[in-house]
Copies of this chain bind each other. A is one copy, B any other.
Amino acid sequence: MDINIEFMRELHKTSHIVLDTITKNLFELGFTFSEFLILLHLEKTEKEAVQKLGDIALITSGTITFVINKLIKKGLVKKLQNPDDKRIFWISITDLGRKKFEDLFKSHMEYLETVLSSLSTQEKSEFIEKIRWLNSRLNITANEV
């Protein structure tokens, strides 16, 4: 088979399986992967602009608005308009959000630990390296996070 096809098939297959597995666990905990990534960032930042959160979760402007509004409805984050540039809205995590994320994070980490338990820290690092190497070598342009 053509090596390019094979390359894409393997990447697709593995990332599909892995992401599916993560997503399912987060779903059982009541969150989407996007929400997890957003809360993960907000938990260690005072505030962040809506668009930046979209870049972090790799979702488009329309979707990040939708996701943020969902999190606001759940009372996990709040929105504040930047007075110096009224186009920008700052998002920050609420006390409730911080509390919920603490539980979510703990459970999900335990789960990831199980899924990845057969890899050593060394092996994980090497794979991260390899994936970053691939990313930098591809002829693809994407937003840097």
Q: Are A128 and B10 in contact (CB under 8 A)?
A: yes
Chain B residues lying within 8 Å of A7, measured Cβ to Cβ, are 116, 124, 127-128
How many monomers of this chain does the complex have?
Answer: 2
Chain B residues lying within 8 Å of A138, measured Cβ to Cβ, are 17-18, 115-116, 118-119
Main secondary structure of the interface of A (DSSP, over half): helix
Q: Are B58 and A131 in contact (CB under 8 A)?
A: no
Binds B, one of A67-75, A77-85, A87-95, A106-114: A106-114
The closest CB in chain B to the CB of A140 belongs to: B21
The closest CB in chain B to the CB of A135 belongs to: B14
Complex-state Cα separation, A12 to B140, whole angstroms: 16
The closest CB in chain B to the CB of A2 belongs to: B109
* A130 CB within 8 Å of chain B: yes
Q: Are B12 and A125 in contact (CB under 8 A)?
A: no
* A22 CB within 8 Å of chain B: yes
A residues 1-30 with Cβ under 8 Å of B? Answer: 2-22
Q: Are A14 and B131 in contact (CB under 8 A)?
A: yes
* A86 CB within 8 Å of chain B: no
Q: Are B115 and A139 in contact (CB under 8 A)?
A: yes
| Interchain Cβ contacts under 8 Å between A and B, 12 examples | A3-B124, A4-B124, A5-B40, A6-B124, A8-B18, A9-B37, A11-B131, A14-B15, A14-B135, A15-B19, A18-B138, A119-B138
